[in-house]
């Protein structure tokens, strides 16, 4: 069902809320955005996004100029009778290990207080499977009587979120009312991919399953990479052959130092908690969480061995992945903290995430840089963490000339091993055969008889 050109209210302008709002505006809807952060609202009114996300600044400006995007700190002011109200606020894991729903509750209470007619409340935040039963029982919701909750989980990945919005593989909509679900699906009409209409609990579980499955893949390949290390096998060679089988699929199997960021670890913990609440034990999911932490420690131990008696380290890349300045749950910060605790001096570098990192980490032995050569100068180990594309074109001879010891630890193949060795570096790459490949080589061809 086509349902374009609608008036929509978006509560929350974080990664999910803002990208979705900007995308919906581009589709032709008029989106009024609300956020409790006054500074953020003021910036957004001036076309300044609160985070780095490719494509957002351009579409934000376009939406504002076309008067299809507006921003207000005041929910009552932002509300003008919209039938569709999206909730995209944070759902972190609280101190008690459970999903902290206070921001969702606050948003829903606020919405219940301001709306004056039947309203479809679209939950974009990732929430526990049976959350709608709790939301429906909030006193303000009961009193209002106008709200119907619809689950519409998001599958945007940071760094490619805008692209993901316009190229969804599937749009999942879940509620008790099929008609309403179709109405919501219609808001995204024309984007392609599959549309799945289901109940709310199924929709939420699909979201958790998607992220925990991705986490499982990473934990799996990282475990394989440890086995590879012991047999001097290149884990990437294993992945190349493994992913030739369509049953395995050919993405999301890059050996790393572990999965981080604000979503995968959180959603894994939340699903384990949802299961525990219902008496379901989850040895596999718990194992994934345990593996991720143990694997990080295994890789940190390797870094420390690479450092030897050195006392100064450059950590290059702070965001949890490239094309974002998000450092939440970035293992780069965990590594830095570990080194600082061991009395090591750290030069931390990132092209975009210094401000964000400095909010979490300040230390007399920690200095921030926005330039690789300046950060690497005088260091005994150069850890390439985030695979920013600019690292791939670094002049490694110049880098070798400024460091105290040419000694690279490469977490996600930012640097070519061959080029690094040619430039005189000792090179350790996660999932790679270090110290050079042993024969025979790994060769892929259509027809070996031709060779």
Active site residues: 263
DSSP label of 449? G
Binding interface with ligand UGA (CB under 6 A): 126, 154-158, 211, 214, 218, 252-254, 256, 259-261, 263-264, 320-321
Token pair for 209: 């399953």
CB of 301 to ligand UGA, least distance (A): 18
Q: What is the pairing mode between strands 84-87 and 7-11?
A: parallel
Report d(CA 222, CA 206) in Å as an integer: 24
Measured in Å, how far apart are the chain's first and last C-alpha atoms? 55
β-bridge partners, 427: 408
3-class DSSP string for 124-159:
CCCCCCCHHHHHHCCHHHHHHCCEEEEECCCCCCCC
CB of 251 to ligand UGA, least distance (A): 7
Closest CB to ligand UGA among residues 64, 152: 152
β-bridge partners, 194: 170
CB of 365 to ligand UGA, least distance (A): 26
CA angle 293–295–296, rounded 5-degree value = 65
Closest CB to ligand UGA among residues 78, 151: 151
Report d(CA 144, CA 138) in Å as an integer: 10
Closest CB to ligand UGA among residues 141, 357: 357
**φ, ψ (nearest 5 deg) of residue 161:** -60, -40
CB of 122 to ligand UGA, least distance (A): 16
- Distances in Å between the Cα of 287 and the Cα atoms of 200, 209, 272, 290, 295 are 28, 15, 11, 5, 12
Q: Are the C-beta atoms of residues 300 and 354 closer than 8 Å to each other?
A: no
Residues 6+ positions from 175 with CB-CB distance below 8 Å = 148, 149, 150, 151, 181, 184, 199, 200
Closest CB to ligand UGA among residues 73, 329: 329
* 3-state secondary structure at position 401: helix
Closest CB to ligand UGA among residues 14, 406: 14
Closest CB to ligand UGA among residues 158, 380: 158
**φ, ψ (nearest 5 deg) of residue 85:** -125, 120
Q: Is the dihedral of CA 317, 321, 323, 324 positive or negative?
A: negative
Q: Is the peptide bond before 434 cis (omega within 30 degrees of 0)?
A: no
CB of 269 to ligand UGA, least distance (A): 13
By residue count, the chain amounts to: 451
Closest CB to ligand UGA among residues 37, 164: 164
């Amino acid at each position: 069902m086509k349902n374009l050109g609608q008036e929509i209210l978006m509560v929350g302008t974080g990664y999910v809320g803002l990208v979705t709002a900007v995308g919906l505006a581009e589709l032709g809807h008029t989106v009024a955005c609300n956020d409790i952060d006054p500074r953020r609202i003021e910036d957004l009114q001036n076309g300044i996004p609160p985070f780095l996300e490719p494509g957002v600044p351009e579409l934000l400006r376009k939406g504002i100029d076309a008067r299809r995007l507006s921003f207000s700190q005041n929910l009552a002011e932002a509300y003008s009778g919209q039938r569709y109200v999206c909730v995209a606020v944070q759902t972190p894991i609280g101190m008690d290990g459970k999903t902290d729903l206070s921001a969702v509750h606050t948003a829903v209470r606020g919405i219940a207080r301001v709306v004056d007619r039947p309203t479809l409340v679209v939950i974009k935040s990732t929430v526990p499977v049976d959350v709608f039963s709790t939301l429906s029982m909030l006193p303000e919701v009961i009193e209002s009587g106008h709200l119907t909750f619809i689950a519409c989980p998001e599958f945007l990945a940071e760094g490619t979120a805008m692209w993901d919005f316009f190229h969804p593989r599937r749009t999942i909509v879940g509620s008790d009312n099929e008609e309403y679900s179709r109405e919501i699906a219609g808001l995204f009409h024309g984007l392609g991919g599959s549309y799945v209409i289901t109940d709310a609990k199924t929709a939420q579980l699909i979201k958790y399953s998607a992220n925990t499955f991705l986490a499982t893949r990473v934990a799996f390949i990282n475990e394989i990479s440890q086995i590879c290390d012991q047999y001097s096998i290149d884990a990437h060679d294993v992945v190349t052959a493994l992913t030739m089988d369509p049953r395995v699929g050919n993405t999301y199997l890059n050996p790393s130092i572990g999965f981080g960021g604000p979503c995968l670890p959180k959603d894994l913990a939340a699903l384990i908690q949802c299961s525990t609440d219902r008496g379901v034990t989850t040895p596999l999911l718990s194992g994934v969480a345990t593996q991720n932490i143990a694997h990080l420690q295994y890789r940190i131990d390797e870094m420390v061995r690479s450092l030897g008696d050195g006392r100064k380290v450059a950590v290059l890349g702070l965001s949890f992945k490239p094309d974002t300045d998000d450092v939440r749950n970035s293992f780069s910060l965990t590594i830095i903290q570990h080194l600082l605790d061991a009395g090591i001096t750290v030069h931390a570098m990132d092209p975009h995430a210094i401000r964000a990192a400095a909010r979490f980490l300040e230390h007399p032995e920690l200095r921030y840089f926005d330039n690789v050569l300046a950060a690497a100068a005088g260091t005994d180990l150069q850890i390439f963490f985030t695979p920013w594309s600019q690292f791939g074109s670094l002049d490694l001879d110049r880098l070798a000339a400024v460091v105290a010891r040419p000694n690279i630890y490469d977490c996600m193949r930012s640097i070519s091993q061959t080029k690094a060795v040619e430039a005189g570096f000792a090179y350790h790459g996660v999932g790679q055969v270090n110290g050079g490949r042993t024969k025979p080589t790994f060769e892929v061809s259509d027809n070996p008889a031709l060779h």
